Amino acid sequence: MVYINELAHHVDQEVELKGWVYNTRSSKKLFFLVIRDGTGLCQCIVNKDDVSEQVWEAAESLTQESSVKVTGKITADERSVGGYELHVTDIKIVQIADGYPITPKEHGVEFLMENRHLWLRSRRQWAIMRVRNQIIFSLHEFFQNKGFIQMDAPVFTGNAVEGTTTLFSTEYFDDTAYLTQSGQLYGEAMAMAHGKIYTFGPTFRAEKSKTRRHLTEFWMIEPEMAFYDLIMNMELAEEMLAYVVDRVLQNCSEELDTLERDKDVLKKVTAPFPRMTYTEAIELLNSDKTKNMLNEMETSRKQELENLKKEKEELDKEYGQAKKGRKVQIDKRIREISMRTDDVEEDLRNIPLWREKAMSIKWGEDFGGSDETILTMHYDRPIMVYGYPAEVKAFYMKRDPEDDKVALGVDVLAPEGYGEIVGGGQREDDLELLRKRIKEHDLPEEAFRWYLDLRKFGSVPHSGFGLGLERAVCWICGIRHVREAIPFPRMMGRLYP
């Protein structure tokens, strides 16, 4: 079988492509048929003079997403999508699709989400999933090359990891089980057996907030390393991210083009990343530097809004007299303007709130999404914030030996407003202190007995972190919402398809 992404090896040969109809266009004598086969797109040309009447009729009967086998000779053509064309000699219809709901015109997000099972075939969604695949592959490659062992943590668990407020519970025979929020605690046990391990699996959080960063089911990669302190942990995290971004740039160039991702931004993702303590981050949020940056942003957004309005008025005026082709262009630009206007207006509503929040945040409070956004806006690369107030972090975090109020935790915040993509830190390795923390957090000691054992039998300093896969996909692809970063997103209010 020949696939579209292998056509370079088949120039001047006759091949059969099997796929689906992406698009059709016809004139009196020529019929243009764009086929997709999962590996790419190929324009197939039917010339009425060269084919039998049956083949011409078959071409004319094709509807969007009909499944077909198309035979013909391959020629190279730079102007054509994918760089090659097929000159049709035969068409075999597999199935004629019946009124495909997703047409080339614009659709609302709700409609597309309802049709996620079909939406996955669209070009942008296709590109996102290819990048996701590359990220997953590169993560395995990175850790395997470094001698990490992949081990899997259970999904049914008896205890909370990341706080009790976001637990999904389910019947487990006569007991209650929770869907895991993180594989970490098991990862710690596995690291004591193998030294350096990682888990990679689905994790669950009953997040009641509908934001563009939150799913209820998401995939997390979680390395855990014996004898690593916080700094070694941070070095590993930045090296991992730089590696993955580099692999995506190397291997998914076309996909990034389809997504109109600015590659120069990604090329800047090299280690070391800027680092700051939580205390320094609070100072930066409260500073004049932040205030001025937000003021400038507000001014430039207002100006942009003016410009967008003007452009729209001019296009509206032009529309009446425009020719058909130009009208299509104008429609497209007006849609873009309308989308951008929504974004700019949203920013203009948000900036005063962000400013207010940043100016007033005090040591001890957790960052909100806007605080993370603001912090990253000061840099062109991901940043690492470490040394958080122990109060806002999980029970297992080790405290700073110099300051008991501080936990040795780190978050990696992605630029361009994406915010936290990695969370991790050094773990408490002292039995009595860990016991105390479990009590302080009102967690049932019984459920953590096995976890406490790790501090009884050869306890060592150790660290790890978790990378949220969908957050990473969003950032690397430059898309707005995590719902497009996973094949079938699960969020509050969404269980189908």
Contacts of 297 (CB under 8 A, 6+ apart): 347, 351, 377
> Applying CB under 6 A, does 382 fall inside the site for ligand 4AD?
no
* Contact window for ligand 4AD (CB under 6 A) among 120-128, 303-311, 367-375, 461-469: 461-469
Instruction: Work out how close the CB of 187 gets to ligand 4AD at its nearest, in angstroms, rounded to a whole number.
Output: 6
Nearer Cβ to Mg ion (301/399): 399
Contact call for residues 382 and 416 (beta carbons, < 8 A): no
When binding is defined by CB under 6 A, the residue of 228, 273, 451, 465 that contacts ligand 4AD is 465
* Contact window for Mg ion (CB under 5 A) among 103-111, 172-180, 415-423, 443-451: 415-423
In the range 211-250, which residues lie near ligand 4AD by CB under 6 A?
214-215, 218, 220, 222
Nearer Cβ to Mg ion (7/472): 472
> Applying CB under 6 A, does 205 fall inside the site for ligand 4AD?
yes
Nearer Cβ to ligand 4AD (43/199): 199
Instruction: Work out how close the CB of 316 gets to ligand 4AD at its nearest, in angstroms, rounded to a whole number.
Output: 41
> Applying CB under 6 A, does 415 fall inside the site for ligand 4AD?
no
When binding is defined by CB under 6 A, the residue of 72, 82, 466, 489 that contacts ligand 4AD is 466
Nearer Cβ to ligand 4AD (309/480): 480
CA torsion sign, 382 to 387 to 393 to 398?
Answer: positive
Report in angstroms the alpha-carbon separations of 473 from 136, 144, 381, 486: 10, 21, 16, 9
> Applying CB under 6 A, does 420 fall inside the site for ligand 4AD?
yes
| Contact partner at residue 471 from ligand 4AD, Mg ion, none, CB < 5 to 8 Å by partner kind | ligand 4AD
When binding is defined by CB under 6 A, the residue of 112, 234, 240, 421 that contacts ligand 4AD is 421
Amino acid at 29: K
Q: Would you state the structure tokens that stand for residue 61, as one six-digit string?
A: 């009967």
> Applying CB under 6 A, does 429 fall inside the site for ligand 4AD?
no
For the CA atoms of 185, 187, 191, 192, the dihedral, rounded to the nearest 10 degrees, stands at 40
Q: How many residues bind ligand 4AD (CB under 6 A)?
A: 23
In the range 178-197, which residues lie near ligand 4AD by CB under 6 A?
182, 184
Contact call for residues 83 and 75 (beta carbons, < 8 A): no
> Applying CB under 5 A, does 466 fall inside the site for Mg ion?
no
Nearer Cβ to Mg ion (157/181): 181
Instruction: Work out how close the CB of 394 gets to ligand 4AD at its nearest, in angstroms, rounded to a whole number.
Output: 7
Nearer Cβ to Mg ion (195/389): 389
When binding is defined by CB under 6 A, the residue of 65, 85, 162, 400 that contacts ligand 4AD is 162
Nearest-CB residue for Mg ion: 423
* Contact window for ligand 4AD (CB under 6 A) among 55-63, 249-257, 289-297, 417-425: 417-425
In the range 478-497, which residues lie near ligand 4AD by CB under 6 A?
482
| Contact partner at residue 40 from ligand 4AD, Mg ion, none, CB < 5 to 8 Å by partner kind | none
Three-state SS annotation for the chain: CCCHHHHHHHCCCEEEEEEEEEEEEECCCEEEEEEECCCCEEEEEEECCCCCHHHHHHHHHCCCCCEEEEEEEEEECCCCHHHEEEEEEEEEEEECCCCCCCCCCCCCHHHHHHCHHHHCCCHHHHHHHHHHHHHHHHHHHHHHHCCCEECCCCCEECCCCCCCCCCCEEEECCEEEEECCCCHHHHHHHHHHHCEEEEEEEEECCCCCCCCCCCCEEEEEEEEEECCCHHHHHHHHHHHHHHHHHHHHHHCHHHHHHCCCCHHHHHCCCCCCCEEEHHHHHHHHHCHHHHHHHHHHHHHHHHHHHHHHHHHHHHHHHHCCCCHHHHHHHHHHHHHHHHHHHHHHHHHHHHHHHHHHHHHCCCCCCCCHHHHHHHHHCCCCCEEEEEEEHHHCCCCECEECCEEEEEEEEEEEECCCCEEEEEEEEECCCHHHHHHHHHHCCCCHHHHHHHHHCCCCCCCCEEEEEEEHHHHHHHHHCCCCHHHCCCCCCECCECCC
* One character per residue 308-327, x = contact with Mg ion (rule: CB under 5 A): --------------------
Instruction: Work out how close the CB of 133 gets to ligand 4AD at its nearest, in angstroms, rounded to a whole number.
Output: 18
Nearer Cβ to ligand 4AD (19/423): 423
> Applying CB under 6 A, does 471 fall inside the site for ligand 4AD?
yes
How far is residue 63's CA from residue 417's CA, in Å, rounded to a whole number? 41
Nearer Cβ to Mg ion (22/395): 395
Instruction: Work out how close the CB of 466 gets to ligand 4AD at its nearest, in angstroms, rounded to a whole number.
Output: 3
> Applying CB under 6 A, does 422 fall inside the site for ligand 4AD?
yes
Instruction: Work out how close the CB of 460 gets to Mg ion at its nearest, in angstroms, rounded to a whole number.
Output: 24
In the range 416-445, which residues lie near Mg ion by CB under 5 A?
423
139: Cα separation from own chain's centroid: 14
> Applying CB under 6 A, does 261 fall inside the site for ligand 4AD?
no
> Applying CB under 6 A, does 424 fall inside the site for ligand 4AD?
yes
Contact call for residues 308 and 337 (beta carbons, < 8 A): yes
How far is residue 196's CA from residue 158's CA, in Å, rounded to a whole number? 25
> Applying CB under 6 A, does 398 fall inside the site for ligand 4AD?
no
Residues within the interface to Mg ion (CB under 5 A) = 423
Residues that bind ligand 4AD (CB under 6 A): 161-162, 182, 184, 205, 207, 214-215, 218, 220, 222, 420-424, 464-466, 468, 470-471, 482
